[in-house]
Amino acid sequence: MKKRYVLRFSPEVVNRPIVSDIIKAFNISVNIMNADISSGRAGMLVVELDGSEEALEHSVEYLQRHGVDCSPHVKELVFDQEKCVDCGSCTSVCFSGALVMNRESWELEYHADSCVVCGLCVEACPLRLFTITRGAAS
């Protein structure tokens, strides 16, 4: 099975190879969708973990035990869709397939599963309808 998470970690954890740790320990594959990491400051990774259900559970446990905050990524981006006017501005910066214009109805389609939490839509929406919760909603 595949599951996406947003991982957040402190500057101490940044210097440790946590991703390769879980790959080796639990025989899963990790697809990094988005990353914002540099030594000496907190890091953020959006990953898709692929493996057995048990292996994914163990991976998340392992990460949490080592000080990594794991949040299911679908809860990360909050979209106040009711107020949306379907202008399409957000689709100009969304390359993950999460925000797509339906070219028949010209309605904005929001596919939360495809989101990689890059955050570009937050700034691109002229009505400011997107927020990244930093795991607060989870």
Partner 1 sequence: MSVTKSIEEINQKISNGEAVVVTAEEVSTMARSMTAAQIAERVDVVTTATFGPMCSSGAFLNFGHYSPPIRMEEIYLNDVPVSGGLAAVDTYIGATSESRFDHTYGGAHIIEELIAGNDIKLKARAKGTDCYPTKEVETTINKESVNEFYLYNPRNAYQNYGVAVNTKSHTIYTYMGTLLPNLGNATYSTSGELSPLLNDPAMRTIGIGTRIFLCGTQGYVSWYGTQFNTSKPVNEYGIPTSNAATLAVIGDAKEMSTEYLKAAYFEKYGVTMFVGIGIPIPMLDEQIAQACMISNAQIDTSVIDYSEPDKPVLTMVNYEQLHSGTIEIDGKSIKTAPLSSMKKARKIAQELKDWIDRGEFYLSTPVQQFPNHTTVQNLKQR
Residues near partner 1, by CB under 8 A: 85-93, 95, 101, 103, 105-107, 120, 123-124, 126-128
How far from the centroid of its chain's Cα atoms is residue 95's Cα? 13
Q: Shortest Cβ distance from residue 10 to partner 1 (Å)?
A: 29
Rounded to a whole number of angstroms, the minimum distance from the CB of residue 114 to partner 1 is 15
Nearer to partner 1, 67 or 126 (CB): 126
Distance in Å, CB of 116 to partner 1, minimum: 15
Shortest CB 9 distance to partner 1, Å: 27
Residue 27 near residue 51 (C-beta atoms within 8 A): yes
For partner 1, which is the closer residue by CB, 13 or 125? Answer: 125
- In the complex, minimum distance from the CB of residue 97 to partner 1, in angstroms, rounded to a whole number: 11
DSSP per-residue string spanning the chain: -EEEEEEEE-HHHHTS-HHHHHHHHH--EEEEEEEEEETTEEEEEEEEEES-HHHHHHHHHHHHHTT-EEEEGGGTEEE-GGG-----GGGGT--SSSEEE-TTT-PEEE-GGG-----HHHHH-TT--EEE-TTTT-
